[in-house]
Amino acid sequence: MRPESGVRLMLVTDRLTTPYSGMLPGHVAGFYDRDEMHIDLARLAHATGTSLVHAPATGVDRGSRQVLFADRPPLAYDTLSLDVGITPDVSAIAGADRNALLVKPISTFLERLEAAETEGIPRRIAIVGGGAAGVELACALRARFGTTPAIAILTAAPLVSTLNGGVRRRLEKALARLGIDVVRDFRAASLHGSRVTAADGQVHEAGLVLVSTAARAPGWLTATGLPTTPDGFLRIGPTLQVEGEEAIFAVGDCATRTDEPREKAGVFAVRQGPVLADNLLRKARGEPLRRHHAQRTFLVILSTGDGRAIAGKGRWLAVEGSWVWRWKDWIDRRFMARFSGA
C-alpha distances in Å from residue 240, one per residue of 1, 134, 218, 236, 256:
21, 30, 19, 5, 9
- In angstroms, the Cα distances linking 335 to 80, 137, 271, 305 are 25, 21, 12, 20
Burial class (CB in 10 A: 0-12, 13-18, 19+), 56: middle
Q: pLDDT-derived band of residue 75, with 50, 70 and 90 as boundaries? A: very high
User: pLDDT digits over 152-192, tens only?
Assistant: 999 999 999 989 999 999 999 999 999 999 999 999 999 99
Query: In this model, does residue 103 exceed pLDDT 90?
Result: no
Candidates 3.40.50.720, 3.50.50.60, 3.30.870.10, 3.40.190.10; CATH matching 10-86+216-285: 3.50.50.60
- The DSSP bridge partners found for residue 195 are 192, 205
Question: Which residues fall within 8 angstroms of residue 176, CB to CB, at 6 or more apart?
Answer: none
- Closest by Cα among 292, 331, 273 to 1: 273
Q: Is 132 helix (H, G, I), strand (E, B) or coil?
A: helix
Look over the chain and give the mean of its residue pLDDT values, rounded to a whole number: 91
* Contact (CB, 8 A) for 159 and 170: no
Q: In what order do the strands lie in the sheet with 188-192?
A: 188-192, 195-198, 203-205
For 196-253, how does the pLDDT look when each residue is reduced to its tens digit (9 = 90+)? 999 999 999 999 999 987 778 888 998 899 999 988 899 999 999 999 999 999 999 8
Tell me what pLDDT residue 265 has. 73
d(CA 222, CA 229): 10
The domain defined by 88-215 folds into FAD/NAD(P)-binding domain (3.50.50)
Task: Give the DSSP H/E element, type plus range, for residue 52.
Answer: strand 51-54
- What pLDDT, on the 0 to 100 scale, is given for residue 341? 57
List where CATH 3.50.50.60 sits in the chain. 10-86+216-285, 88-215
The tens digit of pLDDT for each residue in 252-269 reads 989 998 887 777 777 778
pLDDT for res 2: 81
